[in-house]
Amino acid sequence: MNFPILSTLIFLPLISSLFIFLSKSKTNNFGVISISLFGSIATFFLSLFLWYSLDTSIPDFQFVEDQSWINNFIKFKLGIDGISILFIVLTTFITPICIVSCINSVRIRVKEFLIAILILETFMIGVFCSLDLVIFYLFFEAGLIPMFLIIGVWGGPRRVYSAFKFFLFTLLGSVLMLVAIIVIYWITGTTDITQIYEIKIPKEYQNLLWLAFLSSFAVKMPMWPVHTWLPDAHVEAPTAGSVILAAILLKMAGYGFLRFSIPMFPNASEFFTPLIYTLSIIAIIYTSLVALMQDDMKKLIAYSSVAHMGYVTLGIFTLTKQGIEGSIYQMISHGLISAALFLCVGVVYDRLHSRMISNYGGLVNYLPKYSFLFLVFALAALGLPGTSGFLGEFLVLTGTFQKSYLAAMLATFGVVLGAAYMLWLTKRVIFGSTNNSEIKKINDVNKSELIMLTVLAFFIIFFGFYPMPLMETFDISINSLIDNYQNDLNANQL
Amino acid sequence: MINNLNILFPEIFLSLSIFTILMLGVFIKKSFNIIFNLTLLIIVATVMIILSNPDNEVKIFLNSFTRDAFSNYFKILILISSFFVLNSSKNFILDNKLDKFEYPIIVLMSILGMFFMVSSNDLILFYLGLELQSLSLYILATIDRDNLRSTESGIKYFVLSALSSGLLLYGCSLLYGFTGSTNFDLIADKLTKENTGAVFAMVFILVGLAFKVSAVPFHMWTPDVYEGAPTSITSYFAVVPKVAGLALLIKFMFIPFSNILLEWQTIIIFISIGSMILGAVAAMVQKNFKRLLAYSSIGHIGYALAGVATGVVSGYQSAIIYISIYVIMNIGAFSCLYLIKKDGQYKESISDLSGISKKHPILAISLLIILFSLAGIPPLGGFFAKFYVFVSVLEQEMYTLAIIGLLTTVMSAFYYLKIIKTIYFDDSAITFDLTKNKKAQFSIFASCIFLVTFFLYPSIFNNMVTALFVS
């Protein structure tokens, strides 16, 4: 394949954002929305084509593009394997949904909003495609700019505080990763990760480098105790911003652990496993308890995201096949479920301009379709069998039981807490009664909202019953990841 | 002898042009426009002359004047940045009645001074060039002589700068006393670590140079002068003399002081760390945009000095790349100030920027790009500038310097974000005049395009800079 298909995929949203920038429709938002929708759906189909043509029987990177970029130093190297393709498809799938959600929720500066979303999509796809540490860092950090603007310009009342917190937290975490990347360059003489996998970083450097990478990924994930930016960012961000943040940006860190931390620093990964277990368990239990106490719907879902990400880190660092498979599954399914939940909150927020749980109640009487969909997503979020949320958590817990009974028991306790806050949320919002008379006046979901939510609900249930398409895609890649990890560990112990 | 003059041709051309347009200015009435345009023409012509000459290393006049790739690179950088600074500030000069014909001529004279600075291979020539540049800058700082703030800033600059020149001269004389020569090459041969007097002299010279590039702790003049001087002068101050100052710092490290690198390095590391921290912390509370840019420029010089502090060629190269990108960002940032006008008055406080995103979307997005680039966020040009510096800093395993540098990046991101917040998040109470200023717009456009597309070909400077240290 000589055609640079990955570069096309990365820059397609950027090009469509250029079209929007140049278009002159000031009064008519329909035009710019259709351009961006067209661009993002084209990107989606291109990524589906990639998924289709990806050979999942070999663990190697495919569609590799390798161009010289900075003389004798860094190459612009792209490539995908069974793990990254799923995240790319998730990204390209969520973006059109975000664009559709703009129709109802974004009232001012629609054009700029769409440009920001599309540029963000470019950077997000770039993160999952890059096979070079510097390129990865470039895309990883660049995403801050559009997200900062999305929160800051279109956000709620405390948007400035949240946007600053988001930006500075993430930047602070990432600069240490930049130091680590440059140090890796001076140790191995390259930043191309396929070469670094082979050269192998000496054991004595691994721990510090691993911690530097952790500082970035822990903030992005977010792991306890650096998760505090996430609830703020979620609460203030507009609906589409929350969706992208929860569905994709949080997954970058999990992907980063799989692609960088574990293969590059196997010894350090093993050494720090107890640390990750501890932080994950705290995240699962503590943030679930915090979620129980929230009176803001978005904040509740944000804390539940932190708890779900706790399962992801737990699963990844079990370093068993089930654990890692579960983590990836959990990331994909959380991408769909949290996106759907934030969209649901957005639907009622657009109508009543309140996210307070106490302002709602008895929605099932007035918004039957909405209530049904909300219930589906809430049950998926608590991991009901038959939804994609169940499989991820189940596999993670299976993997954890092989390594540590204590961790697995505590994590299982988190599942119960998850059910508690999700069901209580549903009880208070969907069922029950309310004194708020305005609820009676609002309309049920309109066509565009119905389409978005139904599509998401379909995939959540589909992947709950039939996980094979996902499992088959990343199966070989995970096998080779674990094999290489074990080989590296054995090699270093000898 | 004639061959020697050939090598000196850019300088000769520049001086003769200065005399000619000075005469023209005296004899033609209302001559500002003509002189201004002629000045721009002269700058372009000088660039051509330098480019048309070969840049192999030649030393003339008893080895006191060097022409090599290093000096030519800096001369061209000085010329191009002066061109953009002058060109974009024309409307500002006219609007503020600064249109005295001496203005562009004095700028040219300071350029001539910098030419001799970057080409000097001898303490005397170096000092003469430095003084020609400084004297021109004193006049420029006070050019708005009816304005109290401008005059004050000029006097302040003059007193402090004269003091630093005095220290520098004292250092030069000590150096002559301890090594018996004023020639850089001969000094380099005679200088050893045991020569304590020479180390002493080195400190004085470093103080003088640190003052010129406004590095901590010799930065005190910068905020006041930047704020007080007219914006067109400030933008010149923020860009061009820094380039020359950095060139000299590198040159001193590379030739005369190469044997006492360790002593010299330690001081530069401290200066660099101090500048980075002060630039990040002090800028946070500023309300005036020019004053903020002053502190931010102190911070940026800190990063460039971090590259110099490595004491190896790759570090110097990264510092040169840094200053080149810095120049481009600052030209853009200052040009934005020429477009923010209300009731005929140019506005320079940060709160005045509120809501320009609605009135001037294009200006707002340009400022956004420039500010994120100044903050060093990828994929903009400013990131690569910092990246190259930290690559060479970490190559020398100077981890503390690198980590402090990167942490101050985060701190300084805060105040750039604050400006962006004012532009994009705050509601505006002010309506601005719609200013048509093609020249400033061109500078902003060029700078933004450069910063945005830099990632497509990030080794653009590497190729040029690698050639500078061949000898």
Q: Which of B404, B417, B419 to mutate to test the interface with A (most CBs of A within 10 A)?
A: B417
Searching chain A, which residue's CA lies closest to the CA of residue B416?
A: A164
The whole-number average pLDDT for the span B17-27 is 91
Predicted local confidence at residue B349, as pLDDT: 82
The residues, any chain, with a CB within 8 Å of residue B157's CB and separated by 6 or more, are: B137, B138, B141, B221, B225
Burial B330-346 (b: 16+ CB within 10 A, else e): bbbbbbbbbbbbeeeeb
- Closest CB to A70: pick one of B424, B425, B458: B458
Q: Which residue has the higher pLDDT, A432 or A408?
A: A408
Question: What are residue B272's phi and psi, to 5 degrees?
Answer: -65, -50
Of A87-101, A104-118, B266-280, B321-335, minimum mean pLDDT range: A104-118
Q: Is the pLDDT of residue B237 over 70?
A: yes
**H runs (alpha helix) in B196-312:** 196-212, 221-228, 231-254, 261-282, 289-309
Mean pLDDT estimate for chain A = 87
Compute the distance between CA of residue B127 and CA of residue B133 in angstroms, rounded to an integer.
10
Q: What is the pLDDT of residue B46?
A: 93
Could you tell me where the DSSP H helices lie in A221-320? 229-236, 239-244, 250-256, 262-264, 266-271, 273-292, 297-318
Rounded-to-integer distance, Cα B282 and Cα B311, Å: 28
Closest CA–CA distance from residue A423 to any residue of chain B (Å): 37
Q: Is A352 helix (H, G, I), strand (E, B) or coil?
A: helix
- Select the more confidently predicted residue: B21 or B429: B21
Instruction: Name the minimum distance, in Å, from the CA of A232 to any CA of chain B.
Output: 17
* Tens-digit pLDDT profile for residues B293-313: 999 999 999 999 999 998 888
Query: Is A142 within 8 Å of B394 when comparing Cβ atoms?
Result: no
Give per-residue pLDDT as tens, A27-80: 667 788 888 888 889 999 999 998 888 888 888 888 888 888 877 778 888 888
Determine phi and psi for A63, rounding to 5 degrees: 55, 35
Report whether pLDDT(A345) > 70.
yes
* Residue A449 confidence (pLDDT): 86
Query: Would you place residue A2 in the very low, low, confident or very high pLDDT band (cuts 50, 70, 90)?
Result: low
- Give the 3-state secondary structure of residue A76: strand
* Distance (Å, whole) CA B452 – CA B52: 30
**pLDDT band at residue B129, thresholds of 50, 70 and 90?**
very high
Q: Does B166 touch chain A (CB under 8 A)?
A: no
The closest CB to that of A152, out of B394, B421, B459, belongs to B421
Query: What is the enclosing helix (H) or strand (E) of B345?
Result: strand B345-346
- Chain centre to alpha carbon of residue A318: 20
Pairing of strands A74-80, B58-60: unpaired
Which chain B residue is nearest to residue A157, measuring alpha carbons?
B425
B394 contact A CB<8A: yes
Task: Say whether pLDDT at A494 is over 60.
Answer: no
Interface contact B435, partner A, CB < 8 A: no
pLDDT at residue B167 is higher than 80: yes
More confident position, A407 or A1: A407
Q: Residues B134-143: pLDDT tens digits?
A: 999 998 888 8
Compute the C-alpha angle B30/B34/B39, nearest 5°.
130
Q: Where are the beta strands (DSSP E) in B25-88?
A: 58-60, 65-67
Task: Dump pLDDT digits (tens) for A216-272.
Answer: 999 988 888 888 899 888 888 888 889 998 889 989 999 999 889 888 888 888 889
Q: Which of A70, A112, A137 sits opposite B459 (nearest CB)?
A: A70
- For A285-334, the pLDDT digits (tens) are 999 999 988 888 889 999 999 999 999 999 999 888 889 999 999 999 99
Is-contact A147 A241, C-beta < 8 A?
Answer: yes
Residue B170 banded pLDDT, cuts 50, 70, 90: very high
Q: CA–CA separation, A262 vs B207, rounded Å?
A: 49
Q: Please report the ipTM that was assigned to this predicted complex.
A: 0.90
Question: Considering only CB atoms, which chain A residues are within 8 Å of B372?
Answer: 145
Whole-model pTM?
Answer: 0.92
Q: Tokens for B12?
A: 């000769």
- The rounded distance, in Å, linking the Cα atoms of B324 and B240 is 10
How many CA within 13 A on the CB side of residue A215? 17
Interface residue A152 vs chain B (CB under 8 A): yes
* Residues whose CB falls within 8 Å of the CB of residue A326, separated by 6 or more in sequence, listed in order: A311, A315, A391, A392, A393, A394, A395, A396, A397, A398, A399
List the single range of A183-192, A340-349, B426-435 with lowest mean pLDDT. B426-435
Omega before A225 cis (within 30°)? yes
DSSP class of residue A223 equals P
Q: For position B198, what pLDDT does the model report?
A: 81
What pLDDT score was predicted for residue A1?
A: 52
Q: Partners of A132 in the beta sheet?
A: A192
Domain extent, residue B105, equals 2-469
pLDDT at B199: 82
State the total domains in chain B: 1
Q: Which of B410, B417, B463 sits opposite A172 (nearest CB)?
A: B410
Q: Which of residues 36-95 of A touch B (CB under 8 A)?
A: 69-71, 73
The separation between the first and the last C-alpha atoms of chain A, rounded to the nearest angstrom, is 41
Structure token pair of residue A401: 């039981």
Task: Report percent pLDDT > 70 for chain A.
Answer: 98
**What is the β-pairing status of strands B341-342 and B345-346?**
antiparallel
SS3 content of chain B, % helix, strand, coil (to 5): 75, 5, 20
SS3 content of chain A, % helix, strand, coil (to 5): 80, 5, 15
Distance CA B308, CA B286 (A): 28
Mean pLDDT of A449-453: 88
Tell me what pLDDT residue B436 has: 75
The per-residue pLDDT for range A456-488, each reduced to its tens digit, is: 999 999 988 888 888 888 888 888 888 888 888
Q: Looking at residue B75, what is its pLDDT?
A: 92
- H or E element: which one contains B5? helix B2-7
| A138: nearest CB among B361, B372, B379 | B379
pLDDT at A122: 92
Across the range B148-176, mean pLDDT stands at 90
For residue B96, give the 3-state DSSP assignment. coil
* pLDDT at B434 (0 to 100): 64
- Does the distance separating the beta carbons of A153 and B394 come in below 8 Å? no
Determine whether the interchain pair B395/A163 forms a contact, defined as Cβ–Cβ distance below 8 Å: no
- pLDDT for the residue numbered A432: 79
**Residue B113: its pLDDT value, please?**
94
Is residue A25 pLDDT above 80, yes or no? no
Confidence band for A202, pLDDT divided at 50, 70 and 90: confident
Residues B325 and B237: their CA atoms lie apart, in Å, by 16
